[in-house]
Amino acid sequence: MTFVRAGAVAAVVASSAVALAQTPGPRRDGRWEVNMQIEMPGMPQRMPPIATTQCITKEDAADPQKSLPQGPGGRGTMPDCKVSDYKTTGSKVSWSMKCEGETPMTGTGEFVYEGDAYTGTLKIAMERGGQSMPMTMTYTGKRLGDCNK
């Protein structure tokens, strides 16, 4: 897999992981600004940060499985992904994920909330051509206010 394709897949997965901020835990519903940085060993140059804004509803927050994925195409972009081992301990949320299909991958993540902000990390191993391709996504998020819906 080329680094460009791997980066595109990582961006979709990482965008979907951002949605994990929607699951029940120490965060608030509302409009969130999320910034993500992808790091891939062996990449000739660092990918630019990705910034998104999301409206997190109470309905979305009630179901951890609905939190994955939410890529550029919206929910259902990667329907073969499942969340497991979802845990909330105080202000920390952690989970595991596994995706089947064309680009199988596994990952673990952790977000730590502080008021209307959070930081987090998602570590993923993609399988392609019998090789594992690791990547790490780091996140910062902040609540901007109520949703405009």
> pLDDT (tens digit, 9 = 90+) per residue, 37-78?
999 988 888 889 999 888 878 776 665 555 443 444 444 445
Q: Which residue has the tokens 């972009």?
A: 77
pTM value surpassing 0.85: no
What gap in Å lies between CA 26 and CA 91, rounded to an integer?
5
Domains of the chain (ranges; CATH) run 3-145 (2.40.160)
Tokens of 110: 């952790």
For residue 132, the model assigns a pLDDT of 83
Nearest Cα neighbor of 43 from 104, 2, 103 is 2
Tell me, what's the pLDDT at 130?
79
- Residue 139 is encoded by which pair of tokens? 């996140």
Residues contacting 115, CB < 8 A, separation 6+: none
Laid out side by side, the sheet with 131-145 consists of: 50-56, 30-39, 131-145, 117-128, 105-114, 92-99, 81-89
Say if residues 93 and 110 touch (Cβ distance below 8 Å): yes
pLDDT tens digits for range 108-140 = 999 898 988 999 999 999 877 778 889 999 999
